[in-house]
Structure 1
Amino acid sequence: MKQLLEVLGFIALMQGALGLVHEFTDWHVGLVQRLGLLDGYGVYASVALVVLAFALFAAAESRGAG
């Protein structure tokens, strides 16, 4: 379970970071910019993904080794 939380955290962190890169540099990377539902809210969605990633990392750390 710890590894699953870490993998999900890594994916959320990367998508959040790529969303921020897209918003500030106009590179076309990440999934946040491809979702029409989030049009105009890309920065907020990306920051939320980064915060979610840190929460998942904290949850994985609290699970312990096994």
Structure 2
Amino acid sequence: MKQLLEVVGFLALVQGVAGLVHEFTDLRWGLVQKLGFFDGYEIYASVALLVLSVALFAAAESRKPG
């Protein structure tokens, strides 16, 4: 379970960073831009993904190994 939380946290971190990079540099990659219901809220969604990744990493660290 710890590894699953870490993998999902890493994916959320990458997508959050990708969303912020897209908003500030126009590089076209990441999942947040491809989902239509985030139109106008891409920055908020990206920041929420970053917060989610921190929470997932914290939850993974609180778990016992194995």
- TM-score tier after normalising by the smaller chain length: over 0.9
Q: Deviations over 1:19-65 (max 9, x none)?
A: 00000001101000001000010000000000000000000000021
Number of the residue aligned with 1:30 = 30
* Shift >4 Å, 4+ stretches: none
TM-score (normalised: structure 2)? 0.97
**Structure 1 segment 1-66 matched on structure 2, within 5 A:** 1-66=1-66
How many residue pairs match? The answer is: 66
Structure 1 letter corresponding to 2:30: G
SS at match of 1:27: coil
Q: 2:20 is aligned with what amino acid?
A: L
Unpaired stretches in structure 1, ≥5 consecutive residues: none
CA RMSD of aligned residues (A): 0.6
Percent identity over paired residues: 73
What amino acid does structure 1 have at the position aligned with 2:14? M
